[in-house]
Amino acid sequence: MSGTIPGPDGRPRCPWGLSTEDYVAYHDTEWGRPVHGDDALYERLCLEAFQSGLSWITILRRRDGFRRAFADFEIAAVAEFTDADKERLLGDTGIIRNRLKIEATVANAQALAGWAPGELDALIWSYAPDAATRPAPRTLADVPAVTDESTALSKALKKRGLRFIGPTTAYALMQACGLVDDHLADCVARGGA
């Protein structure tokens, strides 16, 4: 699929954002909108890591379960999780029960707990490319999976002790959190519309 297609209201949208009602809402109101705040960015980082190897709709539909399981992604709270908490999470059917991803989520909170307030936000946003240098994608083929910025962001986060954040996951984070606007050029949601 390429180019925008009309949504249920007749307005043009990115094709991926029309497959389910959940996607329409996420596409129109969240994806590509700027996200700030350490806890909010930690949540998106964790969800993108859990999505690795799965479809995003699987994560989106379990987001409330993830929030319950991981203390609303409050870094300080998750940093206090114990081995018993990790075992509890492995039995939680409201989330993806992947040991490596659960352990990375807790380890990342423990690493971030030592950062100054706002430091995660500042670090992630320091890798946002200049929007003026990025032409709006016309088709899905114009949307990259990895960029120089996402590779650099991944390296910076790993250097600071974070896990499960490769360049592709870092780029998905950048898209989801509005560091880049990869809504297609004719999409009704481009530019936060």
| Annotated binding-site residue numbers for Zn(2+) | 14, 27, 183, 187
Kindly state the tokens that stand for 52.
């690795």
Spacing of C-alpha 164 from chain mean position: 12
Burial of 69 (0-12, 13-18, 19+ CB in 10 A): buried
Cα separation, 29 vs 193, in Å, equals 9
Which residue, 175, 170, 134, is CA-closest to 151?
A: 170
DSSP 56-89: HHHHHTTHHHHHHHTGGG-HHHHHT--HHHHHHH
Out of 42, 43, 48, 171, pick the active-site residue: 48
Whole-number Å distance between alpha carbons of 39 and 192: 22
Active-site annotation holds for 171? no
Is 26 a known active-site residue?
yes
H or E stretch including 152?
Answer: helix 148-159
CA atoms within 13 A on the CB side of 53: 9
Annotated binding site: 14, 27, 183, 187
Q: Is 56 a catalytic residue?
A: yes
Catalytic residue among 16, 56, 115, 125: 56
Catalytic residues: 26, 48, 56
